[in-house]
Structure 1
Amino acid sequence: MRNDAARNRGSGSRRNAADQVNEALELFPVQRCQTDTTEVRHPAVKDDYIVSSTRSSIKQVYDVISSFTEQKRDLVRSIGFGGILLFPPLKNINRRFAVWLMSRVDPLSQTIVVNNCKRIKFNKTDVEKVFGIPCHGKVVSDCNMPRKVIIPTVKKSYPGTDARENRSIKAAQEVVEKQCSGTMTDTEQDAFKVAFVIYLMSTLLAPGSKYDYVSLEYWGALVEPASIKDFDWCEYVLRKLLQAVVKLKNELQVGNKVSNITGCSVFLQILYLDSIDIGVMNMEHSSFPRIKHFAAEELKSMILADSLSRKPDNLDFEYGRSQICQPKRGGAKSKSG
């Protein structure tokens, strides 16, 4: 079965998030939630499970974006990522909450299944509403060009003295933060656009498990910097998240240690907190992207409000206390910053 899946990956056929999750489930089978029945089963999440790390760096993302000049902000808008300019000052990821949420995602139906009565369905348009990034167009990982052509083409606008440096997150960050005197040249603008997407994917929207390592999977969408906006980045972010869910559930089933939280767990946190009823802390739902409303203190307070203490003398928490609100997430288009 592994060989068949590997052959399918190289076929170049168009596959959506569900297709790739099915493939991941074939390679790494996990216990699935029965979302069409009254039965809900989750991997056993032990009270003492250990989360080693996450490659997501949300505080750093805010620090980088908040330092942009107006010219750089215009370049971000030009590639369709204007919503990211409204990213709030967040400090870190609540890793225990992230694992709890991811362990309750049914990747096949794309549903957060808290229990038999609490379910939150989601799709790629919710990624758009949370972050304000492109949600339509060409599939990010579909490209007719072979990798041996893609990599040197992207390198023309992406700096680095060797292949290893070109796959460094730090190298991308250096380009993004580079101070330019006067108006940026066309070459500098292209370099910024490419490096910004690489940096954002690696630290927020689709972080992997390797330290300071950039995935090449989406580089085909960076060959023409002016066309970055023409790709469906929301579908890619969702696909990588669902693959991360499969990986995490598999790890929880075989032990109590999660090696790394990969995928965009921040999206799940915002989606969930924006969908539950926590009284006076409920957010209004008329403005987008949703992420702009969730600064560090608001996020912390909302997570605490949804927490259930296991024991009076125990500082560990379980989550899922709140009821689900009536659907409010449809409607307005994402606004750019």
Structure 2
Amino acid sequence: MGSKKRKMWKKGNVSEEGGSGHMKKIYPVIFKDDSLSVGGEVKRRGEVLIQHLKARCRLANTSYRLESFGRLCQKLDDQRKRWVGEMGFTGLLKIGVDMNLPRQLAYWLMTRIDPFNCTLTSRDGRVFPLSQNQVHWVLSIPNGGLPVPTNCSLDNEMSEKVKRIMENYGKTWNNKSIKTGREYIFKGISVNAELIGRIEGQWKEDQADEFKTVFLLLSLEMLFCPNQSSRLAADLVLALTCASKAVEYDWCSMVLKKLMDSVAMFAR
């Protein structure tokens, strides 16, 4: 999005785009009536990927996180596979090194999902409801149980766990605003070669909890809830506090919710 203002919605849902830092409010009706937005009309004509290619000016490529995660799982020994099984994540061990997801396919799918009603609309107009059961069928991760911790459930004990996790895996970055020149300090967890190397290293029997924390961290950032950066989303750090008892938590609902949040962000 450039600095030039342009109208994003039509027929009563008009909003002006003034810059890349502005987010537009979205309405349920926009996902049901393609004539209400410019993007919807492109979708109705079946030209989503054509327009995407024109805008990106480059050929289709692939996100390698899925492939990298599969390669990582294939390197685990029997001890670490047992720990993954105790987490309820045995299904992840079946991800192969030859699996990948073309970015253009992911882009097209994002244009077909209605985050308000949690549905997927096919090209011929059929509507398929999405649920946590489907997440379970695809990933074979725990479906049901305790809700994954969020900021709303933060207490003193959990705060201490988060503090220790950030001390072990967190890093600090400095960033400077182009517009104001102001410097900001960010603290987060970066998924890099060093962290992946810890999974591939040697582990003792009494290090099961630490391994589960690192494996959950990589699962969240590379598979469950990936984002455009290589850093774990800040609101997912709390989820790491339940790594040792991961099998007791409802990961499918969390993954589905994060997907719908991403679709809503994409739509804006």
The two structures share one fold, judged by TM-score above 0.5: yes
Is 1:247 paired with 2:265?
yes
Aligned amino acid, residue 219 of structure 2: L
- TM-score normalized with structure 1 length: 0.56
Is this contact kept in 2: 1:28–1:246, CA < 8 A? no
Query: Where does residue 51 of structure 2 map in the other structure?
Result: 48
**Using a 3 Å threshold, how does the CA distance of structure 1 residues 179 and 122 change in structure 2: closer, same or farther?**
same
Shift of 1:198: 0.7
Query: Where does residue 175 of structure 1 map in the other structure?
Result: 198
**Using a 3 Å threshold, how does the CA distance of structure 1 residues 144 and 110 change in structure 2: closer, same or farther?**
same
SS at match of 2:238: helix
Shift of 1:213: 1.0
Question: For this pair of structures, how many residues does the alignment match?
Answer: 214
Equivalent of 1:185, from 205, 209, 229?
Answer: 205
Query: Where does residue 109 of structure 2 map in the other structure?
Result: 101
1:284-299 equivalences under 5 Å are: none
User: For residues 208 and 56 of structure 1, what CA distance do their matches in structure 2 show?
Assistant: 13
**Using a 3 Å threshold, how does the CA distance of structure 1 residues 200 and 225 change in structure 2: closer, same or farther?**
closer
Query: Where does residue 136 of structure 1 map in the other structure?
Result: 144
Is this contact kept in 2: 1:75–1:193, CA < 8 A? yes
Is 1:90 paired with 2:98?
yes
- TM-score normalized with structure 2 length: 0.69
Structure that is richer in helix per residue: 2
User: For residues 163 and 137 of structure 1, what CA distance do their matches in structure 2 show?
Assistant: 34
Q: Percent identity?
A: 21
Unaligned runs of 5+ in 1: 1-25, 251-337
1:196-207 equivalences under 5 Å are: 196-207=215-226
Is this contact kept in 2: 1:134–1:230, CA < 8 A? yes
SS at match of 2:226: coil
Is this contact kept in 1: 2:188–2:234, CA < 8 A? no
Equivalent of 2:248, from 226, 230, 240?
Answer: 230
Computed over aligned residues only, the root mean square deviation of the Cα atoms, in angstroms, reads 2.9
Shift of 1:101: 1.2
Is this contact kept in 2: 1:54–1:209, CA < 8 A? no
Is this contact kept in 2: 1:76–1:82, CA < 8 A? yes
Query: Where does residue 283 of structure 1 map in the other structure?
Result: none
Query: Where does residue 26 of structure 2 map in the other structure?
Result: 29
**Using a 3 Å threshold, how does the CA distance of structure 1 residues 249 and 216 change in structure 2: closer, same or farther?**
closer
Aligned amino acid, residue 33 of structure 1: F
User: For residues 228 and 107 of structure 2, what CA distance do their matches in structure 1 show?
Assistant: 15
1:258-337 equivalences under 5 Å are: none
Unaligned runs of 5+ in 2: 1-22, 174-186
